[in-house]
Amino acid sequence: MSRRLDRVNELFRREIGRIIQKDYEWHGILVTVSAVEVTQDLKEGKVWTSVLGGDAAPVIDKLNREHGSIQSKVMKRVVLKSTPVLRFHHDSSAIRGVDLVNLLEEVDKLPKAPPDAPEADPEQACRDGVIGLLPALLATPGKENTQGTSR
């Protein structure tokens, strides 16, 4: 995609978002424009809209019914050679993101494995084990201390 087309898409996204927020009442529903994709010939444009806090279908239907009015308001603020025909589509990425965050929070609540014990020096562990066993060996009846005796 060309740099010019990227700038046009961003400009349309901002202006359509302002118009949707300022000129329309959504009654407790958050409606935002997440992206705009205008064709290279500037004849058509897809407007990706996120809807949080309500059903997206009636919002998208209303925007598509009012697309002519929205286009004319945008074109008063954005001067281009031709006016793209806008079509509104639902962008469910925000909902998927919220679902993913909720899933990660559930996973975080699951029991966790105990942390691994720090690695000890194998020779020190061996000495500690032998020294720890000496009192038990010495206290065992019927066993003699045979250290230091050689035959």
Query: Which pLDDT belongs to residue 151?
Result: 44
For the record, the structure tokens of 96 come out as 């998927």
Q: What digits encode the pLDDT tens for the residues 95-145?
A: 788 888 899 998 888 888 777 655 556 666 666 655 666 566 566 555 555
For the record, the structure tokens of 105 come out as 């929070």
Count how many Cα atoms sit within 13 Å of the Cα of residue 79 in the half-sphere of its side chain: 0
For the record, the structure tokens of 81 come out as 């050679």
The residue to which tokens 């020779």 are assigned: 123
Q: What digits encode the pLDDT tens for the residues 13-32?
A: 999 999 999 999 988 899 99
CA distance 118 to 24: 61
For the record, the structure tokens of 67 come out as 């697309």
Rounded average pLDDT over 42-68? 93
Q: Please spell the DSSP secondary structure of 129-150, one letter per residue.
A: HHHHHHHHHHHSTT----TT--
Query: Which pLDDT belongs to residue 86?
Result: 95
Can you give the pTM of this predicted structure? 0.64
Domains of the chain, residue spans: 3-95
- Domain 3-95 fold: GMP Synthetase; Chain A, domain 3 (3.30.300)
Highest mean pLDDT: which of 36-40, 89-93, 134-138, 146-150? 36-40
Q: Examine the pLDDT at 64 and tell me if it is beyond 50.
A: yes
